[in-house]
């Protein structure tokens, strides 16, 4: 009769207790996560941006147009039209240990989800326990030793009545999502760093070339002053001053060469090589094309495009699920277990008639006192949820700042390049006039020294301003998220 009653409780869907359990099975403790709303802002800067930047008739001086809503290609670096850059980035993606580490972390997170999902199913174990025993009768007389062989299959199941396991799976899924976007962030950082290193190398080569041009001009001027000194037209002090100026310019060359060598090492390391395995590709500004149309994503889209923002959102989701886990741990835990098997004195008699055994057990455990640990764990998880929400907001603000900084850099560095181009042309003209005036004896050597100092500064600044245009463009693509969404699941698939 007891067995029949248990059977009725188990299968009669009209039983009030079972109806309650089924109702509980449809809910989960803790808050349901809701995706944060996009910031209610209309733009990235306080003042409207111009439709296009200013231009200059020099290398890297093309005007760039901001195109609202323009999508970003997955391989945005190809817009610089540099086969050498494309080759280095392709090699870096294949060999980067940072990407390999992020891919492994993603695979581990995905496996943890599968582990926790296993808790939805019963746990089944088989056991075989052969024993030899010796017992005594009630009056102390020893019995003969005997053997007992027990074979059992045990099934245990914890009913997820309050959604604790569902919240754990939800949290692990969120953590896997976070790892996915950390992988995308590593990919974006790697490709952006390669572009930046290539641009920095090109800029340093331009500065070295400019310095060498200045040295050539200064050496020619020194010869002119030496001839005039020989003719008695100027004092020896003027010649010595020019020699000092030439030596100072020569001293500025090794630091540039050192920086170039270090950039080469950086680029080689980004490609997954050791410094002694230097890349064959070399970069100069003339080998790069400046993209003339630049994307300007809608502010509402930025939070969906930035990998770091998506990772912070996933972290917020995981923190929300952790609150549910902590809440569920304070509620009753319902477990069911069953055993079925056979016991016999001889192994060969197992599973014969009359040797069967079984048991069915149901249990309900309600935590009553744990020193306040469960309550404080729930409060701690709620505090961590608040922390994650604040970190998410901080990440979003930083993302918008990055875009705003890049847009302002593109605007004002274009103006700076135009001014530097004009300054270099004027300084070159002034130097030529000063050289002829000194040669004709119409001006003092000090005038020439001043002109050549201005020319040297203008040439170096022009090279720096040219490189800045390319660097600003790469920074904008990075700030907007790099177009990973147009690559599909190709990168994440390599992690599976």
Closest of 82, 62, 72 to residue 291, by C-alpha: 62
CA terminus-to-terminus distance, the chain: 53
Which of the residue ranges 122-136, 174-188, 311-325 would you say has the lowest mean pLDDT? 122-136
Of residues 395 and 163, more confidence is placed in 395
**pLDDT at residue 493, rounded to an integer:** 47
Quick one: pLDDT band at residue 142, thresholds 50, 70, 90? Answer: low
Residue ranges of alpha helices (H) inside 329-372 are none
Which of the residue ranges 75-89, 201-215, 227-241, 302-316 would you say has the lowest mean pLDDT? 227-241
| Three-state DSSP state, 122 | coil
Using a pLDDT cut of 90, give the percent of the chain over it: 65
What CATH number does the domain located at 38-121+163-333+376-493 have? 1.20.1600.10
**Plot region of 331 (φ>0 → left; ψ -120 to 50 → alpha; else → beta):** beta
- Around Cβ 58, how many Cβ atoms within 10 Å? 17
**pLDDT at residue 460, rounded to an integer:** 93
Question: Where is 143: in which H helix or E strand?
Answer: none
pLDDT at 445 over 90: no
**pLDDT at residue 10, rounded to an integer:** 36
- Taking residues 308-317, what's their average pLDDT? 97
DSSP state of 348: G
CA distances from 284 to 201, 325, 474 (A): 7, 56, 16
Residue 261 CA to residue 197 CA, distance in Å, equals 11
**pLDDT at residue 495, rounded to an integer:** 38
**pLDDT at residue 150, rounded to an integer:** 86
- Taking residues 219-228, what's their average pLDDT? 89
User: What pTM value is reported for the model?
Assistant: 0.86
Please state, rounded to an integer, the average pLDDT across all residues of the chain.
Answer: 88
DSSP state of 136: B
Q: Are 158 and 334 in contact (CB under 8 A)?
A: yes
Q: Are 237 and 326 in contact (CB under 8 A)?
A: no
Closest of 301, 470, 476, 468 to residue 403, by C-alpha: 476
pLDDT at 166 over 60: yes
Quick one: pLDDT band at residue 156, thresholds 50, 70, 90? Answer: very high
- How many residues can be counted in the chain? 496
- Around Cβ 205, how many Cβ atoms within 10 Å? 21
- Burial label, 174 (beta-carbon count in 10 A; 0-12, 13-18, 19+): buried
Of residues 139 and 178, more confidence is placed in 178
- Taking residues 134-151, what's their average pLDDT? 76
Question: How is the chain split into domains, by residue range?
Answer: 38-121+163-333+376-493
Which of the residue ranges 76-80, 120-124, 131-135 would you say has the lowest mean pLDDT? 131-135
- pLDDT tens digits, residue range 397-437? 999 999 999 999 999 999 999 999 999 999 999 999 988 88
Residue 411 CA to residue 416 CA, distance in Å, equals 9
Residue 189 CA to residue 181 CA, distance in Å, equals 12
E-state strands within 349-458 = 356-365
- pLDDT tens digits, residue range 7-33? 333 334 444 544 445 455 557 888 999
Residue 130 phi, psi dihedral angles, 5° rounding: -80, 130
């Amino acid at each position: 009769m007891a067995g029949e009653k248990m059977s009725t409780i188990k299968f009669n869907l009209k039983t009030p207790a079972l109806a309650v359990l089924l109702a509980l099975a449809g809910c989960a403790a803790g808050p349901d996560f809701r995706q944060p709303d996009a910031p209610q802002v209309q733009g990235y800067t306080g003042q409207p941006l111009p439709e296009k930047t200013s231009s200059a008739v020099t290398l890297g001086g093309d005007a760039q147009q901001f195109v609202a809503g323009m999508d970003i290609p997955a391989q945005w670096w190809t817009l610089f039209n540099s086969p050498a850059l494309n080759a280095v980035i392709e090699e870096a993606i294949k060999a980067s240990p940072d990407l390999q580490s992020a891919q492994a972390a993603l695979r581990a997170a995905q496996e943890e989800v599968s582990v926790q999902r296993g808790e939805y199913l019963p746990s089944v174990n088989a056991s075989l326990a052969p024993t030899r025993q010796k017992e005594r009768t009630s009056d102390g007389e020893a019995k003969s030793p005997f053997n007992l062989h027990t074979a059992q299959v045990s099934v245990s199941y914890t009913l997820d009545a309050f959604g604790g396991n569902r919240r754990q799976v939800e949290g692990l899924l969120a953590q896997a999502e976070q790892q996915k976007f950390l992988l995308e962030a590593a990919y974006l950082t790697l490709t952006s760093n390669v572009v930046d290193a290539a641009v920095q190398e090109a800029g340093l080569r331009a500065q070295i070339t400019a310095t060498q041009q200045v040295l050539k001009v200064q050496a020619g001027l020194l010869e002119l002053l030496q001839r005039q000194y020989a003719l008695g037209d100027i004092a020896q002090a003027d010649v010595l001053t020019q020699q000092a100026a030439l030596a100072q310019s020569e001293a500025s060359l090794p630091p540039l060469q050192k920086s170039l060598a270090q950039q080469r090492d950086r680029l080689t390391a980004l490609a997954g090589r050791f410094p002694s395995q230097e890349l064959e590709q070399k970069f100069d500004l003339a080998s790069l094309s400046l993209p003339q149309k630049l994307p300007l994503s809608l502010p509402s889209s930025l939070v969906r495009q930035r990998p770091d923002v998506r990772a912070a959102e996933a972290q917020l989701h995981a923190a929300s699920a952790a609150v549910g886990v902590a809440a569920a741990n304070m509620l009753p835990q319902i477990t069911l277990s069953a055993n079925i098997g056979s016991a016999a004195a001889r192994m060969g008699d197992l599973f014969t008639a009359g040797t069967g055994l079984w048991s069915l057990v149901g249990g309900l455990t309600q935590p009553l006192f744990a020193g306040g640990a469960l309550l404080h764990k729930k409060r701690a998880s709620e505090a961590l949820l608040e922390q994650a929400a604040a970190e998410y907001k901080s990440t979003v603000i930083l993302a918008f700042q990055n875009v705003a900084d890049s847009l302002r850099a593109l605007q004002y560095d274009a103006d700076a390049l135009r001014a530097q181009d004009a300054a270099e042309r004027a300084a070159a003209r002034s130097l030529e006039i000063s050289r002829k005036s000194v040669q004709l004896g119409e001006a003092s050597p000090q005038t020439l020294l001043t002109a050549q100092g201005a020319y040297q500064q203008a040439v170096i600044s022009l090279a720096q301003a040219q490189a800045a245009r390319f660097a600003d463009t790469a920074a904008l693509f990075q700030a907007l998220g790099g177009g990973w969404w147009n690559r599909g699941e190709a990168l994440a698939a390599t992690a599976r």
